[in-house]
A and B are shown apart, each in its own frame.
Chain A
Amino acid sequence: MSSRSISIAGSRTEVVLYAVAALAGFFIVWQLLVMYTAVGMVMPSPIEVVEAMVASCADPIGSKTLPMHILFSLRRVLIGYLLAVLIGIPVGILMGCFQVGEAIIKPVFEIFRPIPGLAWIPLAILWFGIGEESKYFIICVSAAVSIILNTYEGAKSVDPTLVGAARMLGANDFQVFVFVTIPSSVPHIFAGLQVGLSSSWMAVIAAEMIRSSEGTGWIITTGMDSGNTVQILIGMVSIGFIGLILASLLRGLEKKLCTWRIQGR
């Protein structure tokens, strides 16, 4: 993906420059709109938001400071997401590699697949109460779908030529699985992990907006309740940045594990 944007924009430094310029432009336009138009009546300026964010690192919003709120949300995401990974990858592989697995799991999965994670909120509350468990559950369900789907696609789309080549070299089923199916699915699995991560980050916000006493979602809802637009934007901006950081971390891991896809492009 990065190679395509590089080829449009030129060198790597140029890409960075464009990104910085675009972000700066965005914030300048926002600032100007707030200062000189009616937008100022309903929106705080970016400078106000940044100032308030810095201040909230020391002065708590509600009972906790901003970093603590973020850590609470992150913990929920990581637990729910890890559960989704632990469930999603094996299920996807079962479906993609074994015809019996596909025949049994796929029909059930196809029914669950269109149900958004948020539709599980009522059941989650009934089953697990309004504590942390129901949040983990919602996050896990939201992330698992895309992880399962992509892992399945990856395991399914293994090039039969390669499987044939491995068999000819004497590979048994297990060796084909370990040396061909798994490595060739890795890029697909990563795509699923990436989508799953952003789904779970979205789900935590929704889960916290329903009931919690801390977290970035909670910042937004209480901001809404008190008509505090600065506070709402603090929540939103934090979500944006943390989401970006998480996605970049995962991309970094993918680059490490899939050097073969990056080299030579």
Chain B
Amino acid sequence: MSRVDVVNLTKRFGDLLVLDNISFSVGNGEFLCIVGPTGCGKTTFLNSLAHLYDIDAGRITIDGEDVDLQKHSIAYIMQEYSAMSWLTVRENIEFGLKIRKVPKDVMKRNADEAIELVGLSKFADYYPNQLSASMLQRVAIGRAFAVKPDLLLMDEPYGQLDIDLRFQLEDELLKLWQHTHTTVIFITHNIEEAVYLSEKILVLTNKPTTVKAEYSNELPRPRDVTDPAFIDVRNKITDLIKWW
């Protein structure tokens, strides 16, 4: 539950300017989706935000303070499966808590809650190689929510899943978000997904990436992808994203 401000964020790889002077804000508990053409540097953007990359210029602050991973609680759910294969589901979900040296009883409570929320109670003692793709992604989501993050970053977490699983996990995510009031930044190239999930949509341009538009998505929930109002918003975003 935090407010995130990004001010003049710039990132280069050598001579290649990837992110050019990006500024935006995400409000406390807001669900922001970032869309943009393929290869526009969405992941670079998130990695910079998460301080996995050093940024060349600009500032990223959480509640007015510069991001510090040891202090701020940021959880990152990636495109790739990031469950530790040598840990059980429970141990994976406890991982962040263990890193943060949370007391044992709190750890157990948070983990139980997160395991329950992502529907893996029956599989708590399974190892990742015994799980399906969607369950692996649930492990990552559970691990993220277990640390009660100030900010949750998600990088096309459902890109590799079937459409019905994706719908299911999207609904679960919305439930988790409403339940925890976590601030979420969610990257996707799927416009429908963005319209379905978000409160605000940030449209990025091709490289060097800048913010092309910010769209406030006020569709009532629960949303229906076949609703004409929904389709209207989707078309608007599609028009904004077009670079051809």
Contact = CB atoms under 8 A, between A and B. Distances in A.
A224 B130 CA distance: 54
A171 B73 CA distance: 11
Interface string B80-105: 11101111100000011011100000
B129 A265 contact: yes
16 contacts: A164-B78, A166-B95, A168-B52, A170-B147, A171-B99, A179-B99, A180-B84, A183-B84, A186-B86, A258-B86, A260-B87, A263-B126, A263-B130, A264-B126, A264-B127, A265-B129
B52 A184 contact: no
Interface of B: 50, 52, 69-70, 73-76, 78, 80-82, 84-88, 95-96, 98-100, 126-130, 140, 143, 147, 153
A161 interface: yes
Contacts of A12: none
A241 B86 CA distance: 32
Contacts of A264: 126-127, 129-130
B80 A261 contact: no
Contact of A169 (B81, B130, B143): B143
A213 interface: no
State the 10 A-B residue pairs at the shortest beta-carbon distance, nearest first: A264-B130, A169-B96, A168-B76, A165-B82, A260-B127, A161-B80, A183-B86, A260-B86, A264-B129, A171-B99
A170 B97 CA distance: 9
A51 B7 CA distance: 85
Given A259-B127, A263-B129, 18 more contacts: A161-B81, A161-B82, A164-B78, A164-B82, A166-B99, A167-B52, A168-B50, A168-B74, A168-B153, A170-B73, A170-B96, A170-B99, A175-B99, A184-B86, A260-B86, A261-B86, A263-B126, A265-B129
Contact of A263 (B87, B96, B98, B127): B127
Interface in A138-190: 161-162, 164-172, 175, 179-180, 183-184, 186
Contacts of B50: 168
A174 to B, nearest CB: 11
A149 to B, nearest CB: 22
Interface of A: 161-162, 164-172, 175, 179-180, 183-184, 186, 258-261, 263-265
Contacts, number: 75
Contacts of A170: 69-70, 73, 96, 99-100, 147
For the complex, would chain B's binding face be called helix, strand, loop or mixed by DSSP majority?
A: loop
Contacts of B75: 168-169
Nearest to B96: A169
Contact of B76 (A164, A175, A186, A261): A164
A258 B127 CA distance: 11
Nearest to B128: A260
Contacts of A161: 78, 80-82
Nearest to B140: A165
Contacts of A259: 127
Given A169-B147, A186-B86, A264-B130, A164 B52 contact: yes
A162 B82 contact: yes
A229 B163 CA distance: 71
Contacts of A265: 129
A209 to B, nearest CB: 42
B136 to A, nearest CB: 12
A4 to B, nearest CB: 15
B74 A260 contact: no
A164 to B, nearest CB: 6
Contacts of A186: 86
Nearest to B72: A170
Contacts of B143: 165, 169
B129 A172 contact: no
Contacts of B130: 263-264
A175 B97 CA distance: 12
A179 B96 CA distance: 11
